Amino acid sequence: MTGEASTRVVHLVHETVSVVVDVSGGVPSIVHWGAPLSGSDAATLTAMTARPLTHGSLDLVPPLQIVPQHSLGVLARPGLQGHRPGGRDWAPRFSECDVRATGRSVTTVSHDRIAKLRLETHLELTESGALRASATVTNEGDTRFLLDALTVALPVPSSARDLTTYSGRWSRESTTHRQTIDHGAWTTENRTGRTSHEYPPTLWWSTVDAREWGGEVWGCHLAWSGNHSLLAEVMPDGRRYAQLGELLMPGEVCLDPGASYATPVVVGAYTSGGFTLASWVMHEHVRTAARDTAASPRTRKVLLNTWEATYFDHDTEQLKALADAAADVGIERFVLDDGWFGARRNDRAGLGDWVVSREVYPQGLAPLIAHVRSRGMDFGIWVEPEMVNRDSDLVRAHPEWVLHSPDYEPVMARHQLLLDLTNEAAFSHIYGQLDALLRDHDIAFVKWDMNRPLIHASAADGTAGAHRQTLAFYRLLDVLRAAHPRVEFESCASGGGRIDHSVLSRTVRAWTSDCNDPLERQRIQRGVGMWVPNEMLGMHVGARVSHTTGRSQSIEMRAITAMFGWMGVECDPRKLDDHERTVLRTAIALHKQHRELLHGGLTVRFDLDDDTALAHGVMSHDASEALLSYMQMTTSPWLVAPRWRINGLDPERTYTVAHLPLGRLGGIGHTLPDWMNSPLRCTGRELAVVGLQPPSMWPESGMLVHLAS
């Protein structure tokens, strides 16, 4: 696990992955990112992979560097784009670099003495085998350098012919798409000013045969919560790469003499073992980032969020009764959503005034919090600090604090505007209010929402503001966390509009989606679950009739779908019938019983031979235990479902396989498969090779299976 440096080649070695980096040019080129090659001589690998010159091409083979350089003739999208006033220095060339290789990391520093720019790059393999890549440009000239883009490119071999990407919208985040791509490019540009529902910042190259448990996979994720661009290209010369970085608006980053710009970190995940194993690399990366910044609570408490139970209808006595019903089913945290402050009786007023409304809480929040605490729960609260309504005391006093483009009428969304957090006075004001809220109340958890995109958003000087606003958001969150280290923060943006590894190094979880319909949730969670572990994803049991789809599902399906993440409830337990309440109580108890496994284990997903079902679960790191779910999403084309091959377990171990009953099993069979009647003993190999026979189930119903050795 050491970096081996030969003259101009550095080999970053991990037991699961090798990264061979040629640093002989001014910018590193990755010669190999893939299967481990420990013992191989890095210089030999470079010689093996050197490309020949051909007719019809340049007189040199332009390297595909991690910041591709147009000045060397490579046809990839240039990694550094910009110019000085008058248009000069638009295509820099960095031709020599200083190299510092330590352990599993390499840093290079190079200069373009003509363009007077300095470029620093950093590549690092983490303890868990994730590749972290970033670059920083510094203006060493005496005029301004207008930066259009600085992005990082990671090459993949020609066997990486399939590309998996994501799309989404409010209430239907992280929809997975897979295609074979042999020429041209796939690209997305996110201008929403937040990570977005529409363009999740993750993609996976893979071999065509890659499945959950086999095949080579190369994942890339951009750890950034603002605008971004993603590109996956097959160049005409056959080379393939992914390029990720922040999307800068015109004039958004102008580097004064001496100033620098650093890219967000691109996280790479390679495995030869399929998508499930690739997801583990991403999961460990974000878990480590959260641990390093102390954003990992010991126990992720089952919570009730009041939004879909009460919306803006706040009444202390009613909320106390709701808290009683919550405690009765085993809830551990009561989160008071939107509507408790200022003139916020609906979504047209009050944002920006983070002071408890005396109209709805004549005695403040203290009596409600005391009641919640007396029922053994802790208390959480909703805020949306980056936003204001025009109808607010804040905007009446400081219209100049609104982020907008001067002289233009701003585009509205949900009747709200953005607060310019780059304005120090506005920042201090909002910090002061939130700090006071947390100081004055016994608050354990803050749900931090962001319900509109940044459209046409200029800072006070009239220049594009998304980059600075994103950094200011991080700063506000960081200073609040530092002042209140025991408070846990959740990232929410109308559901899953801000889920990435940067925000998740600061928050304990993300609200996955406003859609609690389990039919949708199964697929949303499976999508985002590729780069975020279950315990960081809020998964709630919603009302019988889903508020966002109008569909209804059984309490069993709702509960099984929510149990695998950071579990919560997003409905009024008083409105459940007796059966629903009993099942919910049982599911919460089961979740608590298995919480250590669910929240610390390895996510496992399975390839089924029946596309109408989905199966996933969590396995302990030593493969001694697993809790799995099998969900029949729609009717199966077959009366009897194909066997479910359960991979990932220890082939040599013998497991006790047991059905964990929860409420009613909706089924069309006269009999159940034998193993469901009495626990079965079989090996991990038998489970993977032969598979387990699922029962014949109704659509929209599922079951839980426990395995222990």
Least Cβ distance, residue 625 to ligand DGJ (angstroms): 33
Nearer Cβ to ligand DGJ, position 341 or 644? 341
Footprint of ligand DGJ (CB under 6 A):
307, 337-338, 382, 449, 451, 492, 494-495, 511, 514
Out of 22, 112, 353, 449, pick the active-site residue.
Answer: 449
Which 3-state string (H, E, C) describes 9-33? EEEEECCCCEEEEECCCCCCEEEEE
Query: From the CB of 318, what's the least distance to ligand DGJ, in Å?
Result: 18
List 126's β-bridge partners, or say none: none
Angle at 550 between CA 549 and CA 551, to 5 degrees: 90
112 or 449: CB nearest ligand DGJ: 449
Q: Is 674 noted as a catalytic residue in this protein?
A: no
Cα end-to-end distance, the chain, whole Å: 32
- Rounded Cα–Cα distance for residues 538 and 520 (Å): 14
Give the whole-angstrom CA distance, residue 136 versus residue 65. Answer: 15
For the bound state, the minimum distance from the C-beta of residue 49 to ligand DGJ, rounded and expressed in Å, comes to 48
Report, in Å, the least distance between residue 570 CB and ligand DGJ.
8
CA-nearest of 213, 281, 216, 269 to 244 is 269
Q: How far is the CB of 387 from ligand DGJ (least distance, A)?
A: 10
Q: Which is nearer to ligand DGJ, 25 or 495 (CB)?
A: 495
Residue nearest to ligand DGJ (CB): 338
Amino acid at 136: T
Closer CB to ligand DGJ, 229 or 451, in the complex: 451
Strands in 402-403's sheet, in edge-to-edge order, are 387-389, 416-419, 402-403
Single out the residue of 281, 241, 254, 46 nearest to residue 151, CA to CA: 241
* CB closer to ligand DGJ, 80 vs 446: 446
Token code pair at residue 498: 């801000």
Q: Could you write out the three-class secondary structure of 614-645?
A: EEEEEECCCCCEEEEEEEECCCCCCCCCCCEC
Decide: 517 and 549 in contact? Cβ < 8 Å.
yes
CB of 79 or CB of 495, closer to ligand DGJ? 495
Q: Which is nearer to ligand DGJ, 174 or 451 (CB)?
A: 451
- Minimum separation from the CB atom of position 399 to ligand DGJ (A): 23
CA atoms within 13 A on the CB side of 292: 11
Q: Is 650 a catalytic residue?
A: no
Report the nearest approach of ligand DGJ to the CB of residue 338 (Å). Answer: 4
Rounded to the nearest angstrom, the gap between the alpha carbon of residue 247 and the centroid of all alpha carbons in its chain is 18
Residue 415 Cβ, how far from ligand DGJ at the closest point, in Å?
11
Q: Does residue 332 sit in helix, strand or coil?
A: coil
Q: Provide the 10 A C-beta neighbour count for residue 593.
A: 12
Rounded Cα distance, 200 and 202, in Å:
6
Residue 598 neighbours by CB under 8 Å, 6+ apart: 534, 535, 563, 564, 565, 591, 618, 627
Residues in the chain: 709
The one-letter code for the residue type at 605 is: R
- The catalytic residue among 112, 338, 420, 514 is 514
Nearer to ligand DGJ, 372 or 387 (CB): 387
Q: Would you state the torsion angle of the CA atoms of residues 419, 422, 424, 426, taken in this order, to the nearest 10 degrees?
A: 0
Pairing of strands 488-491, 445-448: parallel
Query: Cβ of residue 470: shortest distance to ligand DGJ, in angstroms?
Result: 19
Active site residues: 449, 514
